[in-house]
């Protein structure tokens, strides 16, 4: 009888240890939301927003710190649950959206600067677009934060600027060609990588 009770206790202890181990290794989940663009540029909504989400998703997956929701799954869930988002995500909205999506965190962001400027960072004179002349560069600045769905508070925030002088301006303006998308990637991707590197280095207890 004593042996049976001892065996039962051992099974119970092993079970508790196993559950603790599973909990320790269980990753929190995050959904990367579409960034709000404060700069009026139609191309952003055609391609730039999706590129930015994809870059952030790919880099966050590499950190192995969070279970990252796929963009297509996110869009499908938003549509299925009739969630409409316009403008920056407030704390109250973050809690509501996060719970509906079933994630622990939301990564949100805003584009605050976006376009072609001179090498000194100032607007180019009218008629001087830069192109391959070496007179201009494409610059994009964003602010991003990781919001805890349980509290609506940001647990991490970062601002980054990405730039590239490899620009080719299309007749229809920026965003009209594959060259423009490549230019955007050359500027944005390294900035996102720096932001995510900072997030990883912060070693947050998520």
Tens digit of each residue's pLDDT (9 = 90 or more) over 4-29: 555 555 545 444 343 333 333 478 99
Residue 69 has pLDDT above 90, yes or no: yes
Residue 129 has pLDDT above 50, yes or no: no
Q: Chain-wide mean pLDDT for the chain?
A: 79
Dihedral sign (CA 113, 142, 41, 183): positive
d(CA 77, CA 101): 7
SS3 109: strand
Domain 28-202 has CATH 3.40.50.10610: yes
Q: pTM of this prediction?
A: 0.77
Q: Would you kindly state where each structural domain of the chain is located, as residue ranges? A: 28-202
């Amino acid at each position: 009888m004593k042996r049976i009770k001892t065996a039962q206790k051992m099974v119970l202890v092993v079970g508790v240890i196993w559950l603790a181990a599973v909990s320790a290794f269980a990753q929190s989940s995050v959904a990367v939301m579409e960034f709000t663009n404060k700069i009026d540029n139609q191309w952003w909504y055609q391609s730039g927003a999706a590129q930015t989400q994809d870059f952030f998703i790919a880099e966050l997956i590499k950190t192995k710190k969070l279970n990252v929701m796929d963009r297509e799954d996110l869009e499908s869930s938003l549509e299925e649950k009739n969630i409409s988002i316009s403008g920056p995500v407030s704390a109250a909205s973050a809690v509501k959206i996060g719970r509906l999506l079933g994630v622990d965190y939301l990564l949100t962001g805003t584009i605050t600067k976006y376009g072609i400027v001179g090498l000194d960072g100032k607007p180019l004179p009218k008629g001087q677009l830069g192109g391959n002349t070496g007179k201009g560069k494409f610059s994009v600045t964003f602010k991003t934060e990781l919001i805890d769905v349980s509290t609506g508070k940001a647990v991490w925030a970062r601002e980054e600027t990405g730039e590239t002088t490899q620009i080719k301006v299309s007749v229809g303006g920026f965003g009209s060609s594959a060259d423009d998308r490549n230019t955007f990637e050359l500027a944005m991707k390294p900035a996102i990588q720096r932001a995510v590197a900072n997030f990883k280095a912060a070693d947050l207890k998520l």
